Structure 1
Amino acid sequence: MVIDVLDPRYDAEPAYWAALRERAGLRADWSWPVLATQAWAARTPQPVTVFRDGPEPWGVVAAAWVTGRTRRYRFAGSGRGRLGGLVVRAPGVSSLPGWWFAGPGGGLDCLLDAYVPAMRAELGPGFRAMLVRQLGEPAGGGLRLVRRTEDVAVLDVARFGTRDDWLQSLARKRKQNLRKIFRTVDADPSIEVRLMPGREADPVAVAEVLRHNERKHRDVPIVALPHFTGYLTALLRQPDVFVAEYRDPATGRLLAAGSVLDHPRLPIARHWGALAREDGGRPNLYFHFYGEVVKWALAAGRPSVLFGKGMAELKATLGARLVPQYAAAVPVLPSRRHA
C-alpha cells in the first residue's frame, strides 16, 4: 500500500487525480485547482491523503489540521504546530463526508484502521484526536464520542415529470405560496433570471452577494470565512458547476445568485446569497431558486438533489426528506498511536 499525504498549496495535481475523482464521484470542489486555491485561503493546513495500490487509488480523505495556533482571522502558516487534531470534512460542501473508500464497509472503520496510523506517522505524537463529520449512521463501540448533528435535506425528483408535479406533491399552503412566488418573479420585468454554466458568471459579483448572506448571520457564534473571489473563480470555472443569477436588467446589478455542483446521482444546491431589501434586493428569490434547481434537475435527468444543511424544517416543506447525520470524536490513544 502506498500513502500520499498531499498539501494542495505545494504539491502538483497527481497524475491519478482525475480518474480518482471520476471513480469516487467527487464534485467540482475536489478539483485540484479548487483545492489549491482554498488551501491558500484557509485558516488551517488542508492535507489530502490518498491510499493506493501501485497507481490505483482506493481511498482519499480531506481534513483540516487544527492546533493551538489556529485563529479565526489568520491564514494557515507554513508550520504545523506540535499538538492538535484532524477534522475530517469535505473540502467545500459541509453536508457531505470528507472521505471515500472503494468497496463495501468503506466508512469509519477504514478511517480508524488506515487513516489514523498514516496520519500518526505523518504528524507525529502531537496528533491527539480526530473529529469525523457527516457520518450517515451512529458510530458504535470503541472510544468514540458520538452526537447527532444537523440533518441534511435531499429532494428526490425522479418521481416527478415536471416542476408542477413537484408543486402538486407539497402541502396546500406551501404549494400556493410557491406558485405565487414563481408567477411574481417570472412576470417582473425588473428581475432577469438566468441559469448558466458557472464559467459565464462574474465571480466578483457572486462573491459580493454571498458576503451579504455571510454578514446576515454574524449572530451565529462560528460562521464560515467570507467567500474569497479567487476560490469562487477557480470553482466556477469547473465544467460541472452551474449558477442561477438574478439581475436588474436596467442596471445590470446582481441581486442574488445560487450555485449547483453537478453530479450524476446527487447534485448539490451549494451557494446562496442575495442583497437585503434595504440594499435593493427583492423578496422570495430564495424560494424561486429552489424551483429553478428542481426544473434544472428534471431536465438533466438527476434523480435527487441535495439541499444541504440548515433550515431543515423549511426544506422539509419543499418536499425534501431529512437524512440524519452524526459526528464522531475519536481520541488518538497511545494504543492507536502505535497502530
Structure 2
Amino acid sequence: MIEVLDPRRDPEPAYWGALRAKAGLRADWSWEVLTTQAWSARTAQPIAVLLENGVPGGVVSSAWVTGLTRRHRFARPSGRGRLGGLDIRAPGSGAIPGWWFDAEDDDGGVARLLESFVPAMRAELGFGLRGLLIRQVGESGVDSVRGRLKMVRRTEDIAVLDVSPFTCRDDWMYSLARKRKQNLRKIFRTFDADPSVEVRIRPGAEADPVEVAELLRYNETKHHDVPIVPLPAFVGYVSALLRQPDVHVVEYRETTTGRALAVATVLDHPTLPIARHWAALPPELGGRPNLYFHFYGEAVRWAVEAGRPEVVFGKKMSEMKASLGARLVPQYAAAIALLP
C-alpha cells in the first residue's frame, strides 16, 4: 500500500526515523523540517510512502501545482478534481532525486515511480491530476521516461567532488589545473594573512537562524532565471533545518565587530554530503571578495577530516565547479502528460 501524507496536518509516522536512516535521507527530510516548509510553501507538499507489510520500502516527495498557484500565495488544501500536476522534487536540495526505493533498479527507480506512485496519487487527487514533472532523472532512467506524451530535456549537471584521494586541502588544490591552483593559492594566503576575517565550522544548532536567513535573502535576490522565483528564506524553516544534528554551518565573520560576512550550510551524509546554501553580504554592504572560493577549500577540508569520500557542490556555474575538480553528473527532467 501507499500512504500519502501532508506534513501540515499529519504527525510524524512512527516509521519515519527508520526510513530516513535506511534511505540515507538528509536533514531536509526531517519531519520537523518538512512540516515547517509545507506551511510556508506556495504549493501543497505531499509525501508518499510505499509500505510493504507495514515496512517502508520507498518514499516520494512532490509539490501539487494548480492554476491557483501564485508567487505570493501560500498553499491551499489540495482538494480533489482540481486540474493540476505534480512536481516530483526533493524537499530541499535540487541536487538529489525526490524519491527513494529500497530495491536497486537499473533505471534509478524511475519505472517504479511511474508504476506505483502515479496510481496512488490519482487515487488521492482524482483525475484532475493531469501531468508530472520529474526532476533529477539520471542517465540510466531516461529510457523509462521516453515515449508518447512524454518530453525529456537535459537540465543542469550536478557537480560532485571525489575527496577520497586527498589527505588535506592542499592535496586537493595541487591536483587542479595550474591557473586555478595559482588563483586558489593566492586566495588562501591572502585570507590567512588577514586578521580582520575569521572562518569557523560548527553545528547548525549553534548558529543564529535570523542572521543566517538574512544573509540567504541577499543570495536569493539574484535568482531571477527560474520560472517561479524562490520564496525568501523564512526564519522558521531555517531554524528547523539548523536544529538537525546532521547540519553544519560555515561562517565568515569580521573579528572586530563579529558581523557575519558569509555563511554556508552543509547537510551531512555518510558518503555524499551536500554543500546546500551559500550567501554573502554584497560588496556595497561591506562584503569581502573571494570568500566563495575560500568556502570550497573549507568544504574540502571538512570532508577530508570527517572521512567523507565525496561532497556535492550542487548545480549552477558548472564550468567553474569543474575547474575545482568536480565531475559533472548529467541530470534530466521529464514532463509527462496523464490522460483523464
Cross-structure match for 2:35: 36
Cross-structure match for 2:103: 103
3-state SS of paired residue (1:244):
strand
Cα deviation 1:254-306 (Å, max 9, x = unaligned) = 11000000001100000000001110110000011110000000001100000
- 1:163 Cα deviation after fit: 1.0
> How far apart, CA to CA, are the structure 2 residues paired with 1:59 and 1:146?
24
3-state SS of paired residue (1:184):
helix
3-state SS of paired residue (1:216):
coil
> Structure 1 residues 252, 100: closer, same or farther in 2, change over 3 A?
same
> How far apart, CA to CA, are the structure 1 residues paired with 2:169 and 2:259?
28
Cross-structure match for 1:275: 281
3-state SS of paired residue (1:264):
coil
Cα deviation 1:200-231 (Å, max 9, x = unaligned) = 10010011111111123346554311111100
> How far apart, CA to CA, are the structure 1 residues paired with 2:21 and 2:75?
29
Cross-structure match for 2:185: 179
The counterpart of 1:265, out of the listed 239, 261, 271, is: 271
The counterpart of 2:165, out of the listed 159, 164, 178, is: 159
- 1:190 Cα deviation after fit: 1.2
The counterpart of 2:334, out of the listed 313, 316, 328, is: 328
Equivalent residues in 2 for 1:301-312, closer than 5 Å: 301-312=307-318
Question: Does structure 2 conserve the Cα–Cα contact (< 8 Å) formed by 1:108 and 1:139?
Answer: no
Q: 2:174 is aligned with what amino acid?
A: Q
Question: Does structure 2 conserve the Cα–Cα contact (< 8 Å) formed by 1:46 and 1:64?
Answer: yes
Sequence identity, in percent? 68
Cross-structure match for 2:58: 59
Cross-structure match for 1:291: 297
Q: 1:99 is aligned with what amino acid?
A: W
Query: How many residues in Structure 1 have an aligned counterpart in Structure 2?
Result: 333
> How far apart, CA to CA, are the structure 2 residues paired with 1:115 and 1:64?
13
Cross-structure match for 2:114: 112
- 1:64 Cα deviation after fit: 0.1
- 1:171 Cα deviation after fit: 0.6
TM value normalised by structure 1: 0.96
Q: 1:67 is aligned with what amino acid?
A: T
Question: Does structure 1 conserve the Cα–Cα contact (< 8 Å) formed by 2:130 and 2:337?
Answer: yes
The more displaced of 242-251 and 179-188 is 179-188
Cross-structure match for 2:72: 73
> How far apart, CA to CA, are the structure 2 residues paired with 1:37 and 1:203?
14
Cross-structure match for 2:143: 139
RMSD value, Cα:
1.2
> How far apart, CA to CA, are the structure 1 residues paired with 2:312 and 2:153?
22
- Residue ranges of structure 1 left out of the alignment (5+ in a row): 335-339
> Structure 1 residues 221, 116: closer, same or farther in 2, change over 3 A?
closer
Question: Does structure 2 conserve the Cα–Cα contact (< 8 Å) formed by 1:85 and 1:130?
Answer: yes
Q: 1:167 is aligned with what amino acid?
A: M
3-state SS of paired residue (2:143):
coil
- 1:118 Cα deviation after fit: 0.3
Q: 2:83 is aligned with what amino acid?
A: L
The more displaced of 78-87 and 180-189 is 78-87
